[in-house]
C-alpha cells in the first residue's frame, strides 16, 4: 500500500478517472489548436498565390 | 485566442467538478451534489450526455441556417458550412445515443427500452443519415447543395417536436417525461425521482457551464471543419 498522495489516489479512484479525462481533454484541445493553426497557414498561402 | 483559453478552463472546471464532487444525501457545502434516489453516482452523466444531445440540436439548427443562406446567395461556401455542421450534428447525435445507451443498461436494466427520447433520437439519426446518402448520391455540386439545403430545412422542422415536445407529452423514463401514478393510476407530470430530476445550485452551475463550454467547442470544431471543406473545394476547382 502506497502512502501519501499515491495512497490517497488508491483509495479514491474517481480522481484517477478525473485526471485521465483531463489529459484526454488536453490532448483534444492541443490537436484542435494545431489543426486551426495549420488551416490558417494554408489559407494564408492560398491567398498569396 | 481568449475564447479558446476560456473554453479550455471551462471544460477543465466541468471535468473536475462533474467527476470529482461527491454526491451526498444532504449537501452541506457547495462542493457536494444532492443524491437523486434511483440514480446516485450515475446522475453525473447529465454533465456529459445532455450537452452532446444539445449540440446535435445546435448543429442541425446551424445546418438549416446555412442551408437558407445558400438558397438566398447561391454561395457554395455556405453549403460547405452547412455540410460541416451536419457532420458534427450526426457525430454528437451518435455520441448522445451511445452514452445514453451504456448508462441505461446500468440504470434502467437494458441498453434500449424505446423510451420517447430514445425513439426520437433514433428517428433523427435515420432522418439525418438519409441526408448523407442523398448528398453522396448527387455529383453536380449546385444540385447537391440546393437539395441538401431544402432537406436540412425540412428535417430541422421535426427536431423541436422530437427533442422538446414528444418526450414531454408521453410517458417515459427520461427526466421531464410523464408517468403513471402507482396509487391513483393517473398520468401525472413526473413524480418518480428519476423523472422528477431536482438539481441544487452548484449542480445547476456545473450543468449550464457544461452546456456553454460544449457549445463553444462545437463552434470551434465547426469552424475548423467548414474551413477545411472550403479549402478542399477551392483546391479541387483549381486543380481541375
Q: What is the mean pLDDT of each run of 10 residues along chain B (240 residues)?
A: 93 93 84 80 88 94 95 93 95 94 87 86 93 92 93 92 78 68 58 58 90 96 95 86
- Residue A36 in contact with partner chain B when CB distance is under 8 A: yes
pLDDT, tens only, A1-48: 567 888 887 888 888 889 999 999 999 999 999 999 999 999 998 888
Q: What pLDDT, on the 0 to 100 scale, is given for residue B186?
A: 61
Q: List, in sequence order, every residue forming a beta bridge with B198; answer none if it has no partner.
A: none
The three cell numbers of residue B29 are 457545502
Closest-CA residue of B relative to A9 is B20
Tell if the pTM clears 0.95, that is, is over it.
no
Shortest CB distance from A14 goes to which of B7, B11, B20?
Answer: B20
Nearest of B121, B122, B104 to residue B113 by alpha carbon = B104
Nearest of B98, B15, B231, B208 to residue A29 by alpha carbon = B15
Q: Which residue matches cell numbers 462542493? A: B31
Sort out which chain B residues have CB atoms less than 8 A from A18's CB and list them: 15-16, 19-20
With a threshold of 0.90, tell me whether the complex ipTM lies above it: no
Nearest of B171, B49, B32 to residue B113 by alpha carbon = B171
Shortest CB distance from A32 goes to which of B220, B228, B235?
Answer: B220
DSSP per-residue codes, B48-97: THHHHHHHHHHHHHHHHHHHHHHHHH--HHHHHHHHHHHHHHHHHHHHHH
Q: What's the gap in Å between the CA of A14 and the closest CA on chain B?
A: 6
Q: What pLDDT, on the 0 to 100 scale, is given for residue B178?
A: 64
Amino acid at each position: 500500500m502506497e502512502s501519501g498522495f499515491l495512497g490517497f489516489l488508491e483509495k479514491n479512484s474517481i480522481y484517477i478517472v478525473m485526471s485521465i479525462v483531463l489529459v484526454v481533454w488536453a490532448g483534444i484541445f492541443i490537436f484542435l489548436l494545431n489543426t486551426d493553426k495549420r488551416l490558417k497557414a494554408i489559407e494564408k498561402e492560398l491567398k498569396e498565390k | 485566442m481568449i475564447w479558446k483559453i476560456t473554453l479550455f478552463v471551462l471544460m477543465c472546471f466541468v471535468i473536475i467538478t462533474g467527476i470529482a464532487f461527491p454526491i451526498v444525501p444532504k449537501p452541506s457545502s457547495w462542493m457536494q451534489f444532492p443524491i437523486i434516489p434511483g440514480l446516485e453516482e450515475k446522475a453525473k452523466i447529465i454533465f456529459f450526455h445532455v450537452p452532446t444531445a444539445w449540440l446535435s440540436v445546435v448543429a442541425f439548427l446551424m445546418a438549416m441556417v446555412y442551408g437558407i443562406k445558400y438558397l438566398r446567395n447561391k454561395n457554395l461556401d455556405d453549403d460547405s458550412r452547412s455540410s460541416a455542421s451536419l457532420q458534427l450534428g450526426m457525430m454528437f447525435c451518435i455520441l448522445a445515443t451511445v452514452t445514453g445507451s451504456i448508462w441505461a443498461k446500468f440504470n434502467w436494466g437494458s441498453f434500449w427500452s424505446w423510451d420517447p427520447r430514445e425513439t426520437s433520437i433514433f428517428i433523427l439519426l435515420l432522418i439525418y443519415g438519409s441526408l448523407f446518402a442523398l448528398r453522396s448520391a448527387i455529383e453536380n455540386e449546385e444540385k447537391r447543395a440546393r437539395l441538401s439545403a431544402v432537406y436540412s430545412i425540412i428535417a430541422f422542422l421535426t427536431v423541436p417536436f422530437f427533442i422538446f415536445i414528444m418526450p414531454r407529452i408521453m410517458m417515459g423514463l427520461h427526466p421531464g417525461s410523464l408517468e403513471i401514478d402507482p396509487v391513483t393510476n393517473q398520468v401525472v407530470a413526473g413524480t418518480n425521482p428519476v423523472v422528477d430530476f431536482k438539481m441544487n445550485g452548484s449542480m445547476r452551475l456545473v450543468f449550464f457551464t457544461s452546456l456553454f463550454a460544449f457549445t463553444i467547442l462545437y463552434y470551434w470544431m465547426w469552424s475548423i471543419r467548414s474551413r477545411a471543406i472550403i479549402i478542399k473545394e477551392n483546391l479541387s476547382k483549381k486543380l481541375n
